[in-house]
Amino acid sequence: MLYFMFATGIENSYPTVQNGRFRQDEMEKTRHYQLWDKDFDLVQELGIEYLRYGPPIHKTWLGPGRYDWSFADETFGDLRRRALTPITDLCHFGVPDWIGTFQNPDFPEQFARYAQDFALRFPWVQLYTPVNEMYVCALFSAKYGWWNEQMTTDTAFVTALKHIVRANVLAMHAILQVRPDALFVQSESSEYFHAENPRAIGQAEFLNQVRFLSLDLNYGHRVSSDMYEYLLDNGMTREEYHFFLDNTLKHHCIMGNDYYVTNEHLVQSDGRTQASGEIYGYSVITGQYYGRYALPVMHTETNLHQGPNGDEAVQWLRKQWANVLRVRNDGLPIVGFTWYSLIDQVDWDSALRENNGTVNPLGLYDLDRNIRPVGQAYQELIREWRAVLPTQSTALILPIFASSQQDGAAAATVQKLARTHAHARKATYGNGETGVRVDRPTLE
């Protein structure tokens, strides 16, 4: 029996700032490149078996079909030896210098090739997040002007979004050619916008539609007429929109919902927004997303600063866990929970816009690898709840195999069945689930 996936992650953001002159490499700032084996020790010390983790794309992907796999070979080889199961994060807020930015229309097809080559090199990996937080990545890069292309228009936002989501979809198709029972955890920020007064209702309603766009496109969910006009007015074509409708892989997906205290927003009458703090909370907002997509759910990111009292993060952990239990008791198929990240982060207080070297006490361990109170609390929570919450097998089309099970007969049988079913779906429907035959997108 596979049990509930208690997870953590090793922060691997790497967007560029200062008009591309500086890359905010969190693995470097937290000394993970030097201490990765110690960090994996800490994961096991906590009793965690699932790790959100990925190689640094800017150091690994050197050009079309050109790679430096040395760090990935070391780290993923060690994860397998330890029987730690990675949820492999292939693109986390940035691209290699040779790609440029998310405005580059060549990015999706090139990224799909990278994803497939990774899967060929590490065929034992089953769980993936091809592109992390697609909505946030497009928003911060192309609407807020903070990262990468640092643009501030709706057209730039839609361009980034369509390229990012297309890259995610093509990568899923490419990985499935190698690993037909692969499952994809769409770690995405779950947002809500509250109107401050009646004059802000219209803008709040608009933003509450925009928050769904990345997952709507990724899952082939038809958008509203307002959102369709918004997309077309800002550069998406009818053909591009129909690509997303015709290439959905929902049956291979777990909907990852990230939730922080900053995920809810207050919309003012002039259209400006500010953080509202927690009003609805994780369970209510996750219920909204589940109602839209009806997919298995995983709480894929949360954290809070350890403040002056020393127990602020512990209280937040308990609150998030109570929300997870509420989601489960409401009948939603929730399969995992993640405190993000394993160790403290650096410069996230400025959303990585500034290179100040400010340590953010958000981790289960500090940067000296000393356990924090929230780490001790999470360790105890896992110990107490692990055997109580088996993942319900009916929640997933395909079973998840831990790293220690990848070479077993059951895993081989499931992969064979998945490959057979994939061929049958392709023969009947093409790539989509709409009954409309389409050609497989090229990965060359």
CATH number of domain containing 108? 3.20.20.80
DSSP letters, 271-332, are S-EEE--SSS-HHHHHHHHHHHH---EEEEE------TTS-HHHHHHHHHHHHHHHHHHTT-
CB distance 406 to 126 below 8 Å = yes
pLDDT in tens, 161-201: 999 999 999 999 999 999 999 999 999 999 999 999 999 99
- Could you tell me if residue 160 is inside a domain? yes
Which residue shows structure tokens 């079309």? 64
- Could you tell me if residue 427 is inside a domain? no
pLDDT in tens, 408-433: 666 666 666 666 655 544 543 344 43
* pLDDT for the residue 44: 98
Indicate the number of domains in the chain: 1
Torsion of CA 157, 160, 163, 166, to 10 degrees: -60
pLDDT of 88 above 70: yes
pLDDT grade, residue 45 (50/70/90)? very high
Residue 220 gets the label, from left (phi > 0), alpha (psi -120 to 50) or beta, of left
Domain encompassing residue 272: 5-404
- Could you tell me if residue 417 is inside a domain? no
pLDDT of 443 above 60: no
- Could you tell me if residue 431 is inside a domain? no
Q: Please give the mean pLDDT across all residues of the chain.
A: 91
Between CA 9 and CA 133 the distance in angstroms is 14
* pLDDT for the residue 417: 61
- Could you tell me if residue 440 is inside a domain? no
- Could you tell me if residue 411 is inside a domain? no
Torsion of CA 59, 63, 64, 66, to 10 degrees: -60
pLDDT in tens, 279-310: 999 999 999 999 999 999 999 999 999 999 99
- Could you tell me if residue 415 is inside a domain? no
pLDDT grade, residue 388 (50/70/90)? confident
Between CA 25 and CA 348 the distance in angstroms is 12
- Could you tell me if residue 157 is inside a domain? yes
